[in-house]
Amino acid sequence: MSVFSHPEFDHHQRIVFGDDPTSGLRAIVAIHDTRLGPALGGLRIFPYASDDEALTDVLRLSRGMTYKSALADLPLGGGKAVIIADPRRDKTPELLRAMGRLVDSLNGDYITAEDSGSSEADMRVIAETTEHVGGLGREGASGDPSPFTARGVFCAMRSAVRHGLDREDFDGLRVAIQGVGHVGAQLARQLHEAGAHLIMTDVDRDALGQLAASLDAEITAPDDIVEADVDVFAPCAMGAALSPSVVERLKARVVCGAANNQLASPEIADMLQSRGILYTPDYVANAGGVIEIAWQRRQDYRREAVMSHIAGIETTLDEIFARARRENHDPASVADTLARERFRG
């Protein structure tokens, strides 16, 4: 396994490998950059096929958090942690407490939070052995970040339709939503309330049917959603939703959704640009959750202040789209440049 020459290494400040035979913990914590503040990023628990696969994932995700927090105007750096384990079979309180001790050994340079395979309940167990945990919720409120993420995507879409479709409202806007889980379903409700017409899909047909009926939405098969005759395509399911063949088939003129790492490879941004499709950089659009987690760390937490910070995503995207047009670049590379300007100073 290469580390310093790893294609995703990108000058990570610190990578820590944790092994605890008693609990079975095998974990990697990656701290990409702490120049703007401590590195906050979720804990993913996944049965990676190899150590290499786990390292690649944690490095890519950790770097992404640096960019996300920088463009969300947060006093935070980027980091991420992975545990190599099957969350359904191997997740035990002992394993989580051992993870907490590993996080604690970093003295606050890394702050952990939920991610796929880990829940708010798991964070409470981890919090028994370290104080460096985010996303626990305040005063008995849920720590689920998805309502905040959905609100951020809604604000992002306002900017995207302004720049991509020259529209100021969602009345009659046709939006295709791929995946109506935690974030997608709440985004759907907000768009419906704002007057949009929705076409949605999910591999979970039961949840999909109920939601679609309550929102007068059309349903389509998972394989057909990218070809839906819509103005906006909103990927809210898994990563790498935008491959070359998907880009060929898209009818939407705007892409704006919650999913992380939507571009299957960096060249896809160029392909979208040459087809005249405006791509909303995913980590800018989906920063609502991390913004709320960051506010939970402050003494002066106020819901209105959180919502107004999340609304700032629209302004950040206005700046990115305007600069992309001025410099004739795709929005993804403009977002990366802007983020680097912020965290590298």
Among 237, 272, 332, 334, binds ligand NAD (CB under 6 A): 237
| Token couple for 308 | 């107004």
Among 33, 109, 202, 330, binds ligand NAD (CB under 6 A): 202
- The answer to whether the Cα torsion of 86, 88, 89, 95 is positive or negative is positive
Minimal CA–CA distance to 218: which of 179, 154, 175, 173?
A: 175
Name residues contacting ligand NAD, limited to 305-334 (CB under 6 A).
Answer: none
Instruction: Give the list of residues 6+ apart from residue 319 with CB closer than 8 angstroms, or none.
Output: 338
Among 118, 146, 220, 273, binds ligand NAD (CB under 6 A): 146
Using the contact rule CB under 6 A, the part of the chain among 54-62, 123-131, 180-188, 328-336 near ligand NAD is: 180-188
| Token couple for 94 | 């002992």
Q: Which amino acid would we find at residue 198?
A: L
* Residue 20: strand pairing partners: 25
Burial of 106 (0-12, 13-18, 19+ CB in 10 A): buried
Instruction: Answer for the pair 344, 35: CB distance below 8 angstroms, yes or no.
Output: yes
3-state helix, strand, coil in the chain (%, to 5): 45, 15, 40
Is 51 a binding residue for ligand NAD by CB under 6 A? The answer is: no
Among 66, 130, 220, 260, binds ligand NAD (CB under 6 A): 260
Catalytic residue, from 68, 80, 91, 251: name it.
Answer: 80
Is 159 a binding residue for ligand NAD by CB under 6 A? The answer is: no
Confirm whether residue 183 is marked as ligand binding.
yes
Among 66, 273, 280, 286, binds ligand NAD (CB under 6 A): 286
Whether 91 is a known active-site residue: answer no
Among 41, 77, 164, 179, binds ligand NAD (CB under 6 A): 179
Q: Which amino acid would we find at residue 69?
A: S
Is 109 a binding residue for ligand NAD by CB under 6 A? The answer is: no
> What is the size of the binding site for ligand NAD (CB under 6 A)?
24
Is 284 a binding residue for ligand NAD by CB under 6 A? The answer is: no
Reduce the secondary structure of 18-77 to three states and give it as a string.
EEECCCCEEEEEEEEECCCCCEECCEEEECCCCHHHHHHHHHHHHHHHHHHHHHCCCCCE
Q: How far is the CB of 208 from ligand NAD (least distance, A)?
A: 8
Nearer to ligand NAD, 25 or 178 (CB): 178
Nearer to ligand NAD, 172 or 266 (CB): 266
From its phi and psi, is residue 240 left (phi > 0), alpha (psi between -120 and 50) or beta?
left
Confirm whether residue 184 is marked as ligand binding.
yes
Is 34 a binding residue for ligand NAD by CB under 6 A? The answer is: no
Instruction: Answer for the pair 91, 122: CB distance below 8 angstroms, yes or no.
Output: yes
Residues belonging to the binding site are 179-184
Active site residues: 80
Can you give the binding site for ligand NAD, defined by CB under 6 A?
145-146, 149, 178-184, 201-204, 222, 236-239, 258-260, 286, 289
Residues belonging to the binding site for NAD(+) are 179-184
